[in-house]
Amino acid sequence: MIARDRGSATVLGLAMSIVLLAVGFIAVTQVQATLASHGAQSSADLSALAGAQTLGDPCSAADQMAKANHVLLTTCEMKGTDISVSVEGPAPSLVAALFHRFGLPIGRVTATAVAGPSGN
């Protein structure tokens, strides 16, 4: 072993640890963003279905379902016999903080859904 190589494994190990931590952080951030997006889409779908199935005010039923799923109903429109809804929910704090750090403000996750009678 050459004397100047002494401790090089420590530096290499530290560098590999930093890379692994960065990859892990990116993976966790991606998973959080995906889960938030899927949650918002599920809430939009349920809200649209609730509005389409009610005999009363469809937008009121959609709003109640959105509130039950902890999202905000942002738009509700009747298009013929179909109901179109948009919902907005909070972005995961880790994702929002990361995007904000790079100058890309994101604080909400949005989704849209349409429901109505089947077109037999």
pLDDT band of 10, cuts 50, 70, 90: confident
**What residues does each domain of the chain span?**
7-115
| pTM given for the model | 0.75
Position of tokens 């937008």? Answer: 59
* Digit-coded pLDDT (tens) for 31-82: 888 888 999 999 999 999 999 998 889 999 999 999 999 999 999 999 888 9
Q: Rounded to the nearest 5 degrees, what angle is found at the Cα of 45, between the Cα atoms of 40 and 50?
A: 125
Task: Say which residue, 105 or 113, is predicted with more confidence.
Answer: 113
Q: Using alpha carbons, list the distances in angstroms from residue 25 to 31, 69, 98.
A: 10, 28, 10
